[in-house]
Amino acid sequence: MDDRQKLLHEWTEKLLAAFEIEGTEVDIDAVLGLAGRAAHGVVRPAAPLTTFVVGYAAGLAVGSGQAEEQVAMRSATAVADALCAQAAAEGGTE
């Protein structure tokens, strides 16, 4: 694990502890990949907005009993990925 990965892992652990959701699995590479696709397919500020909305949508699905955590995250991410690809195809980049 390089220094950047270690820092991101530690930061994620701090966030999870602060929100009292330790043990929650976070695929950091998947989140960063989605942010990159949003930034390059839509506009740069779409990256944090997209990852927030995906997490929120997944959380709502889990909280309401519609899906398990991993299924909710995969589904929400797939929707966002499709929208990012569509935006990129339509020339939505900066």
pLDDT 10s digits, 33-79: 999 999 999 999 999 999 999 999 999 999 999 999 999 999 999 99
Q: What's the mean per-residue pLDDT of the chain?
A: 94
Rounded CA gap, 8 and 65, in Å? 30
* 8 Å CB contact between 61 and 75: yes
Please give the pLDDT value at position 82.
96
Please give the pLDDT value at position 87.
94
Please give the pLDDT value at position 91.
83
Residue in this structure with the two tokens 């990159």, named with its chain if needed: 36
The structural domains of the chain, with segments of one domain joined by +, span: 25-89
Residue 92 has pLDDT above 80, yes or no: no
